[in-house]
Structure 1
């Protein structure tokens, strides 16, 4: 038996509408979830602001949202691991599970991947900014009592950071540099720290974000990247070398073992190459400029590995353990502090997206992660 729900639906640039949808009962292998917390990320913001994300165009009305957690309201006939009332986090990418990449466990790069709130597959796989959704039980993860629904939603971007860490082969007691103190950069720093890095330095142009990172236990030290731009390629590379040299003076860290580049900004990627020690790794986490001028010779001559990172695979159980580890640590990080702004109800989504596009709110408070709270009693009935 189907029921009617309300959904936030994007029809064009900044054109969000609340619309009714029919939701059937969950199929035998699905659970039905009342979405409670959805974090907004950069891709959501691109779709909202441009009705596209890079060269991916939205071709039909689309519900956004993919960083989500909620409460189970019904279970399919074949589901035995969940019951109504369970709090769960959702992994929203559906791979084919049959191709060679899926068989290797690298389903995040499956060519047939369907990902909620993405316009890449068609028909689009609708996102989580809906009151309730049906989702395969296989891709849901029960949240322990000490993990809130907000932090449950953060498990999705935390998965990106954990996947980046795994691909980094970070050595024990490593010196780590993270470019970018947005949500993903902060999470990369946190994972590196919790996984045994000896020193984690985070770099950004925003001094307020850097202060937040160190104060709340996400990194050991910080570096404010100067706003400089050269007149040509040679001058830009010289500036990148100077930036790398200045970073090396922070606590006398010198060259670093592992760099997590979370901005996608060419100057940071360049500085990341120059900062990495011989034999170290530069992890490309940020989705930035598709074509860049990079000092590949400087990387090749020192055998600096440049490694791409795309989403995540098989991360949720370990991400939950990481959050619980942090909860028990006196030194942090406190993942809940990443949620800086909350908007209650789907009808508040336009305001939430406008806030997510800012670095500070009207009161001067940092904007890091904006959450839409669509739990029972939040706004739309």
Structure 2
């Protein structure tokens, strides 16, 4: 006779045993010491998805780590997988995750805040002191980057993609988020004028987002002719200005190219010698001259659309992190205007603060981004569908100038990403590594 239900033994709730598999990863061990390694990866944990990484863009900070094993003040102290501009496909789903299916295409937001502190509860989670950010050496052990075949990532920080957004464009949602955050901080009014210093990926996207926000005239500047021409031709900016090299000829010029400050021009005790005063004044004179030329000239010889060119623009976005560019930003901004510090370069700078004081110029900093990925995805969807009226974001796919297949070719990708033109003289803008 078959046993009754009451005779059956109670079910045993055994712990789930995670299974490990091996993957390939591109791992940096020191300056230019990039190795292809095998790593172990567990099944996704509670609240996690396992993502097969499809595209990873190379950022300026990645290039800095690659060349120096450091980025600014952050020095790596253990092997580090780079890459934080990434998209991929869900291949496994951890416990207690809903809303995702295997095969979903996602963009990865790779900064993971604590979610519990006061700043997180205010929605400004990019400022969380416990933030872990992939491919950064700030946290120890380092939070490994996305140049791996697969990664486990919190589902809360994976953003599902519409079918009409490519993996390459989705990877660029990360720098686009920086631009969205910068323009959100600036809060331009319709018809405002803007100046963008630096025509790298972030500078280009910041210019585009300024136009998206209703700025009537956006001038972009760079020392590279090709990038400025690209910005104007593709509609990222309305005007362009190529900065002549060198930016200035004072004794501190080396500090501008290297991103570090000269002890001669700014002694630690704050007292300037006559020689250093002369050097600093020369630097300021160069900045004033650049500001005047940027406001008066464009590559089409059309005056910038402001009521009085000498008054300056409403908003300047400084996207280089260079000291002289910050000087230029202050001189180029009208009284009552704003300077948004987007680029992170020289950590300690000497600025003509009286310019900001006497003209009531607001200086606002930004750090990465917060609550921007949904906005970026909506913009890319609208771009793909085409906008019947108004400004449409230029193609992010078109910004990808060079693609490398496979992690085994990562070294070549990093070497090329540190240049502005390739061996054939073609513009190098965004380099990506694809699966």
TM-score category of the 2 structures, normalised to the smaller one: over 0.9
1:172-208 deviations in whole A, cap 9, x for unaligned?
A: 2110110000000001001111121111110111111
CA contact (8 A) 1:93 1:116 kept: yes
Residue 378 of structure 1 is matched in structure 2 by none
1:271-327 deviations in whole A, cap 9, x for unaligned?
A: 110111111110000111112221110111010011111101111000111222333
Deviation at 1:21, TM superposition (A): 1.2
Task: State the alpha-carbon separation in 2 of the partners of residues 229 and 209 from structure 1.
Answer: 21
Residue 204 of structure 2 is matched in structure 1 by 186
Q: Secondary structure at the match of 1:252?
A: coil
- Normalising by structure 2, what TM-score? 0.84
Residue 216 of structure 2 is matched in structure 1 by 198
Residue 108 of structure 1 is matched in structure 2 by 126
- Normalising by structure 1, what TM-score? 0.96
CA contact (8 A) 1:194 1:322 kept: no
CA contact (8 A) 2:380 2:393 kept: no
Residue 353 of structure 1 is matched in structure 2 by 414
Task: State the alpha-carbon separation in 2 of the partners of residues 70 and 174 from structure 1.
Answer: 38
Deviation at 1:28, TM superposition (A): 2.8
Task: State the alpha-carbon separation in 2 of the partners of residues 346 and 63 from structure 1.
Answer: 11
Residue 229 of structure 1 is matched in structure 2 by 248
1:214-266 deviations in whole A, cap 9, x for unaligned?
A: 11111111011122314311121112111111111132332111111101111
Which residue, out of 277, 280, 284, partners 2:334? 277
Where structure 1 has 5 or more consecutive residues not aligned to the other structure, the ranges are 375-381
Moved more, 89-98 or 321-330: 321-330
Q: Secondary structure at the match of 1:118?
A: coil
CA contact (8 A) 2:383 2:394 kept: yes
CA contact (8 A) 1:38 1:68 kept: yes
Deviation at 1:49, TM superposition (A): 0.6
Quickly say closer, same or farther: Cα 1:83–1:224, change in 2 above 3 A: same
Task: State the alpha-carbon separation in 2 of the partners of residues 291 and 109 from structure 1.
Answer: 20
Deviation at 1:331, TM superposition (A): 5.8
Q: Does 1:173 align with 2:191?
A: yes
Deviation at 1:24, TM superposition (A): 1.0
Residue 242 of structure 1 is matched in structure 2 by 289
Where structure 2 has 5 or more consecutive residues not aligned to the other structure, the ranges are 1-18, 251-278, 298-302
Q: Does 1:71 align with 2:96?
A: no
Task: State the alpha-carbon separation in 1 of the partners of residues 81 and 404 from structure 2.
Answer: 17
Larger CA Rg, structure 1 vs 2: 2
Q: CA RMSD in A?
A: 1.2
Matches within 5 A, 1:81-230: 81-227=99-245, 228-230=247-249
Which residue, out of 266, 281, 304, partners 2:361? 304
Task: State the alpha-carbon separation in 2 of the partners of residues 209 and 266 from structure 1.
Answer: 21
CA contact (8 A) 2:217 2:304 kept: no
Deviation at 1:143, TM superposition (A): 0.7
Residue 260 of structure 1 is matched in structure 2 by 317
CA contact (8 A) 1:180 1:202 kept: yes
Task: State the alpha-carbon separation in 1 of the partners of residues 134 and 287 from structure 2.
Answer: 37
Q: Secondary structure at the match of 2:289?
A: helix
Deviation at 1:104, TM superposition (A): 1.2
Task: State the alpha-carbon separation in 2 of the partners of residues 186 and 284 from structure 1.
Answer: 15
Q: Does 1:313 align with 2:370?
A: yes
Deviation at 1:23, TM superposition (A): 1.1
Task: State the alpha-carbon separation in 1 of the partners of residues 178 and 344 from structure 2.
Answer: 12
Q: Does 1:334 align with 2:395?
A: yes
Q: Secondary structure at the match of 2:29?
A: strand
Query: Which structure 1 residue ranges, 4+ long, deviate > 3 Å from structure 2?
Result: 329-332
CA contact (8 A) 2:379 2:393 kept: no
Matches within 5 A, 1:7-46: 7-46=25-64
Deviation at 1:360, TM superposition (A): 0.4
CA contact (8 A) 1:217 1:334 kept: no
Q: Secondary structure at the match of 2:139?
A: coil
1:2-51 deviations in whole A, cap 9, x for unaligned?
A: 21111111111111111111111112311111000000001111111111
Residue 11 of structure 2 is matched in structure 1 by none
